[in-house]
Structure 1
């Protein structure tokens, strides 16, 4: 693939990530955004529809994962990287969502930092920031 086409496609996919983030308040149900923005140390947790929250988190994670897979494909064009990323994202979501639901059911009694960061990993494409340098390093070491 041409270098300029890679740059344009990667830029478009990164822009899609920004659009998902920009319209997240309108598209997804997440009462924890306001909770973590304000006095979460001193107030009780808001009333949360857990199923609605989990479905919207899943939908947002899928959107971010598809864009992540697109970026990795455009930059590296290797099926093994794409397969690894897909399985990694799937396994990470299953582990993170189970832990998050358990912490949510306990109303974050053991602290708020762990659920805060687990939620961040679910709703933001942070795994992309971890996988890109790893694949780049792998590519350089295989030369």
Structure 2
């Protein structure tokens, strides 16, 4: 329920001009103007909120601290990689890479890794 609330109130909680941009017909539009510091800060904040809620869900499902620790390390690693990719696609490539930027951004602002971790840990538990 908390993950749903983060999504429902995203426009009130987080600064992200790309939310409305990608809801529009963006294929022929230039990127919106944005404040880099606020944008990255809010992306990181949202990633951490989603990450903490994801870790809580993993603990409730599996009751194993080892899984939570491993997931936390993976989430931090993925955050570093994704932020680097976002920076590169936003600042170094032309806007013809909009869809790549769109999908990388989705991994930062949505708890998609949770959807990957849950079946992976269930599979691991079943086979061990």
Q: What is the number of equivalent residue pairs in this alignment?
A: 128
5+ residue gaps, structure 1: 1-14
5+ residue gaps, structure 2: none
Secondary structure, in 3 states, of the residue corresponding to 1:111?
helix
Matched, 1:57 2:43: yes
- How far off its partner does 1:128 sit? 0.2
CA contact (8 A) 1:72 1:81 kept: yes
Which has the larger Rg? Answer: 1
Matched, 1:139 2:125: yes
- How far off its partner does 1:67 sit? 0.4
- How far off its partner does 1:39 sit? 2.3
User: TM-score of the superposition, structure 1-length normalised?
Assistant: 0.86
**1:60-113: CA deviations, max 9, x gaps?**
000000000000001101121111100000000000011101111136434111
Q: 2:105 aligns with which of 105, 119, 123?
A: 119
- How far off its partner does 1:20 sit? 0.5
Q: CA RMSD in A?
A: 1.1
Q: 1:40 aligns with which of 16, 23, 26?
A: 26
- How far off its partner does 1:125 sit? 0.3
User: TM-score of the superposition, structure 2-length normalised?
Assistant: 0.95
CA contact (8 A) 2:50 2:110 kept: yes
Partners of 1:111 and 1:25 lie apart in 2 by 25
Q: Which runs of 4+ in 1 moved over 2 A?
A: 106-110
